[in-house]
Chain A
């Protein structure tokens, strides 16, 4: 019996040790990438900024490429790409070279590197033509002068893709809800949160007011309050009511992770009108 207890304690200690080691490395939550809103009236400067955001986010460009000027990486460094792009491939302008590198990356391989980059217009990256234009503007800005606008036409663009929304293969398989692009306020209304909570007045309704929730709770706490409403119940309110309501209306089955994030972000902005 004593041996069994010792073995049991030993097992728990070893597992706890590995859990402890795992808390020592950087702790990052990675959310699904979101589409970047690109307005028709964006200046080239705006486009560069949007392109940089896409390159480090949804485009996942900077997962493989560096922008440091250092050599020796697995993929070409992009620090001076705006400068050298026009000279890389004979008969290609800088925009054409960059466009081909993004739409059809294995067509031309920089010397010393191996092929293998995924076309970023295809899943899993799946940027639309407008987003790719923004990335090209950003790449041009790295050592050069950006010239592309959202009106720039490229021969690789597809008619349906340039419309703005991603329409490639997975849309038909994923069955992603069409309400994916709704704002936080629209989601708040769509899921009837306002029936019990007010965001415009500090007065509580059936549930606590969310007028100042952005100051009262962190983003993580707001997330928990939605996903597990009974974890912490505000004083004076009934436990179990909200969770029962959300289950009954099928909220947890309907809401996607993107919608949830939008909703949480919207609530985090409710700071008592300030």
Chain B
């Protein structure tokens, strides 16, 4: 047995143990008999119920999956940058990010196995139907997952032990396979929301059409971007954790840099995320207005107020971290005077975004307001105002980045003044037009108003891209005013990084809930009803508590990942010390 244990990877061992436990716990002789008679549609789970156990495990699997698929993307990019510019620090950083993957991959695989077992045991009818639609894709998924393991461990263990170009190619393959995994899994879950490729009785007509349903590609893109946000924030949290425990200035400098890089990746990916969200929302409405209205205007409309609080907090914390980061840069003091205005802009946008359309009020308050809509706040609680607020919020955060980027630089090109004026002009015009379109939305019909978000989004993207291009050329041979003193940053900045990571995880949990929850009493929307005892949609407070518990379990597991990754590094350090002595 010991020999067997030594030969099998830990993930596989855990998988087998969990499989055994699940079989012992659920497949009683009674259940076997019922199964044989084809009667069982649902099985119950003790204490928390079937829905909650599947919900929590699925969310944990998604979180680890997001991390494991995202980290190779930016690890490869950083490694490539190091390869191109010859700076070993980048290579070391990419390796340190990758070191977190090994243990995380085992967690992902184990949770995936657990989820599969629970789904087949607790929801046999649903799984039977999904298998009838997606049969060969399950096999493909298993093969691709196996390839992912091969590439991941080759990428990790092959670091520095093979030609760099070959290592980069393996990293590229790892990422391609990772993207394939997420695309396959997304086809299953998006089919449940926006089924396609089936006849009126739910029978399969085309597997490809079932895969390529309305929300498949929007979810793919949204998840890819969100995974990078999430992976970056968790990697930044690792940097923060190591920074707080660092013993030397060198360690502090290294982990400060790591935290900064992780956060930079997370926030850079966060900026285009709302645009991917718009696309997803549009496709949901295009598939079914009922589903769209349930999402944004019905049962779940209040969930988006909670989401606004979360995203608003993310933007606040990200900007706060950037402002604190500028304290370690000589020359950044030139931009400090703008901080209060940036803060004011973020706060106003946050407040507008989080303003509900209708208010929870007592009977007396409702009478005084003349209904559930506040006479003034009502105006801010509609999409015209919220879209405008989000776009300005994104531009404000972008401006903080721009100041950080320029903090210790002074442009030396002859056209620097003109460049600054053009950049300011673009920003001012875009902000002006975005606000104008927001106000204009109040005076036009719904069919016109809905379309206004597209020019708003396009303008913001145009502003960010054009200003960045000008900035890159303007500061190409810039005069450096002073060094960046990595490690000289207050501890509270590290807590900002933890806050961002927790908020990202919580947001992921909440959005995972709503993606699944909008189906309400349907397993497959409009095709297969949920006839279980859990067919009702719980309160948002209940859902939030489940999300919180899931997030806490996730971070408990992540603490184990951090600890084990630190041990791996310690062994190398010890070995190095031994050699040198």
Contact = CB atoms under 8 A, between A and B. Distances in A.
Chain A partners chain B: yes
B339 interface: no
Contact of B40 (A31, A227, A253): A253
B275 interface: no
B3 interface: no
A114 B244 contact: no
B288 interface: yes
B445 A113 contact: yes
Given A123-B526, A257-B534, A26 B360 contact: yes
A82 to B, nearest CB: 22
Contact of A25 (B40, B499, B540): B540
B297 A29 contact: no
A170 B526 contact: yes
A274 interface: no
Given A29-B537, A176-B531, A22 B526 contact: no
A10 B552 CA distance: 11
A273 interface: no
A18 B548 contact: yes
Interface in A54-98: 60, 63-64, 72-75
B294 interface: yes
A11 B498 CA distance: 8
Contacts of A14: 498-499, 502-503, 506
A177 B531 contact: yes
Nearest to B40: A253
A30 B537 contact: yes
A256 B401 CA distance: 54
Contacts of A8: 559
B530 A170 contact: no
A15 B510 CA distance: 12
Given A63-B297, A113-B445, A30 B536 contact: yes
A25 to B, nearest CB: 4
Interface string B445-472: 1110010000000000000000000000
A122 B290 CA distance: 12
A123 B290 CA distance: 10
B253 interface: no
A32 interface: yes
B297 A74 contact: yes
Contacts of A247: 44
Nearest to A71: B445
Interface string B515-546: 00000111011111111111111111111110
Contact of A117 (B201, B289, B532, B537): B289
B491 to A, nearest CB: 9
A169 interface: yes
A15 B548 contact: yes
Nearest to A257: B535
Given A10-B498, A11-B555, A25-B306, A253 B43 contact: yes
Contact of B241 (A7, A15, A176, A253): A7
A23 B302 CA distance: 11
B564 to A, nearest CB: 14
A245 interface: no
A165 interface: no
A256 B535 CA distance: 8
Contacts of B446: 72-75, 112-114
B412 interface: no
B320 interface: no
Interface string A88-132: 000000000000000000000000111011100011110000000
Nearest to B44: A252
Contact of A29 (B30, B34, B538): B538
A223 B42 CA distance: 19
Contacts of B44: 247, 252-253
B530 A19 contact: no
A32 B290 contact: no
Contacts of B524: 173
B86 interface: no
B202 A169 contact: yes
Given A11-B555, A15-B548, A22 B299 contact: no
Given A15-B506, A72-B446, A175-B125, A257 B521 contact: yes
Nearest to B541: A23
B536 A32 contact: yes
Given A7-B241, A10-B495, A25-B306, A174 B544 contact: no
B579 to A, nearest CB: 30
Given A170-B526, A253-B41, A19 B540 contact: no
B4 interface: no
Contact of B533 (A75, A114, A227): A227
B306 to A, nearest CB: 5
A165 to B, nearest CB: 14
B527 A173 contact: yes
A170 B529 contact: yes
B306 A30 contact: no
Q: Which 9 A/B pairs are nearest by Cβ-Cβ distance?
A: A22-B544, A32-B521, A257-B535, A123-B526, A27-B539, A173-B202, A116-B289, A112-B445, A30-B537
Interface of A: 3-4, 7-8, 10-12, 14-16, 18-19, 21-33, 60, 63-64, 72-75, 112-114, 116-118, 122-125, 168-170, 172-177, 227, 247, 250, 252-253, 255-258, 260
21 contacts: A14-B498, A14-B499, A25-B356, A26-B302, A32-B529, A32-B535, A60-B290, A64-B293, A74-B446, A116-B285, A118-B290, A123-B526, A124-B522, A168-B200, A170-B202, A170-B529, A173-B201, A253-B40, A256-B531, A257-B530, A258-B535
Given A10-B495, A18-B309, A64-B289, 6 more contacts: A22-B541, A25-B306, A173-B527, A250-B30, A253-B44, A258-B531
